[in-house]
Amino acid sequence: MTIYRVIGFFFFLLLQVVLFRHVVLFHTAFSFIYLLFLFTRPVETNPLISMLVAFAMGLLVDMFYDSAGLHAMASVAMMYLRDFWLTRITPQGGYERNANPTVAANGVQWFLVYSIPLLLVHNSVLFFVEAGGVGYFWITILKVIASVTFTAFILVVYQLFFSKQ
Amino acid sequence: MERLFLFIYQYRAFFTFLVLQVICLLLLVNNNQYQSAAFFNSSNALVASINRTSQNFRDFFSLRETNQQLAEENAMLRRQLEQKKQSIYSLSVREIQDPEIVNRFDFVSARVTNNGVDLFKNHLTLNKGKKHGIQPGMAVVSAQGIVGKVKSVSDNFSVVTTLLNIDVLTSVQLKRTSHFATAKWNGQNPDYVDLLYLPRHVQPIKGDTVVTSGYNAVYPEGLLVGTVEKVSLKDEALFYDITLKLSQDFRSLTYLAVIKSNLKVEIDSLENTLNTR
């Protein structure tokens, strides 16, 4: 089981840096497919481990973007809040044991409720830290909103196509 | 003491979060410094080779265009060489004999293996590095104009900070009137940069050529930057608001040249002796 996760880690990393890095609409809407790997960690994963995984993933993505620490920072912040958010939006009857929070398990609507606030956190940290503050406020806000929408769309579509039912 | 450990253990998630964020912050600050020899960037050998492979696939589709550009550049260089020869011949100007002056600048050709224009701080990676004599601080140009400055190098690759970076200020001048100004990207459209600090007594017109100035520590004087696209002047403003159209498309850069200035050490040390006095 662990070996699949390791393979998944590198699969999503490569997918991001080789393919989805170049999928940017109108210079504003970015797509971060690697977040799917972080989103679909099992619900009961130790938050320490999930944060370390997010850190490693972010750092490796950063090496390709030449932005050391940026994606790592955003991913770790997102992973830290993921735990609180997961307990808040527990579906009726609770999570199943070893459940992964995916579209297949809980449906599209639940996944959007789960992912969009976290994406907002991730992208806000990412773009505001990159811009070095609020000096480019409106462009940055536009980038955040466009990227959250586009990435959420990509994540759902990817799962509908490729996840095993 | 035990209580302290218990406290830390109780909030271990939060403390891990804090520690990781501090590490990220340190990396970010290090990376934002002017020149850095960072490990965590795309000049890393493995990262660069992955990028090169994926760029190879993409290059395949632009081969024809690249070929045409290179051929045009060749023709232009031949024409300039011939003009220079003819003018020297007819004026019977004595050629400069000092080989150090003649060979003052050296050009290293390099290929782009990784490029982006969508972030606020854009970088590109070249397939030449320390082994080929490239060092941080060197200027990078293409046939159509300036591109950026080498930020960090590894053995075989180098990372370049391009003009499309909200932190980069480039000293330029209007070619027609030789007035100095500063070019800076505003983070939006990769085809345009802003021209700052051009005082209001100057009369720029649409289509004016803007080139690098000699007050520039990075680029040689007179390299093309772009042309004036839009000029506006508010009533109470000290400076013009000018939009500059870049002379080249940064999205499709393929072959670039890194400028090695062989006399740079000498110039720098001479200027330093003046400054320390």
Within an 8 Å CB–CB cutoff, is residue A84 touching chain B?
no
Mean pLDDT of A107-118: 86
Predicted TM-score (pTM) of the model is: 0.76
How much is the pLDDT for B2? 81
For B65-223, list the strands marked E by DSSP.
105-115, 121-126, 139-142, 145-153, 158-165, 170-174, 180-184, 192-196, 209-212
Among A17, A64, A80, the residue with its CB nearest the CB of B17 is: A80
> What ranges do the domains of chain B cover?
41-92+106-261
Tell me which of B275 and B248 has the higher pLDDT: B248
Residue type, B5: F
Return the structure tokens found at A4: 């699949």
Residue of A138, A134, A135 whose CA lies nearest to A146: A138
Among B16, B21, B54, the residue with its CB nearest the CB of A48 is: B16
What gap in Å lies between CA B126 and CA B131, rounded to an integer? 13
Q: Residue B171 in 3-state DSSP?
A: strand
Cross-chain Cβ contact B17/A51 below 8 Å = yes
Among B20, B187, B189, the residue with its CB nearest the CB of A136 is: B187
How much is the pLDDT for A145? 92
Mean pLDDT of B38-45: 67
pLDDT at B93 over 70: no
How much is the pLDDT for A70? 86
Q: Which residues of B touch A127 (CB under 8 A)?
A: 120
Q: Which residues of A touch B41 (CB under 8 A)?
A: 63, 66, 68
Lowest mean pLDDT across B91-95, B163-167, B207-211: B91-95
Q: How many CB pairs under 8 A join A and B?
A: 109
Cross-chain Cβ contact B42/A83 below 8 Å = no
Rounded-to-10 torsion of CA B260, B266, B272, B277: -170
Within an 8 Å CB–CB cutoff, is residue A117 touching chain B?
no
| CA B209 to mean position of chain CA atoms | 19
Within an 8 Å CB–CB cutoff, is residue A134 touching chain B?
no
Cross-chain Cβ contact B167/A131 below 8 Å = no
Residue of B171, B188, B192 whose CA lies nearest to B180: B171
The mean pLDDT value of chain B amounts to 81
Q: Residues A51-103: pLDDT tens digits?
A: 888 999 988 888 888 888 889 889 999 988 888 888 887 777 677 777 777 77
Cross-chain Cβ contact A47/B13 below 8 Å = yes
| Class in CATH terms, A2-162 | mainly alpha
Cross-chain Cβ contact B20/A24 below 8 Å = no
Angle at A48 between CA A47 and CA A52, to 5 degrees: 115
Q: In CATH, what number does B41-92+106-261 get?
A: 2.40.10.340
**Mutate which: B24, B28, B58, vs A, most A CBs within 10 A:** B24
> What ranges do the domains of chain A cover?
2-162
Tell me the pairing of strands B105-115 and B145-153. unpaired
How much is the pLDDT for A111? 85
Q: Count how many Cα atoms sit within 13 Å of the Cα of residue B34 in the half-sphere of its side chain.
A: 5
pLDDT at B173 over 80: yes
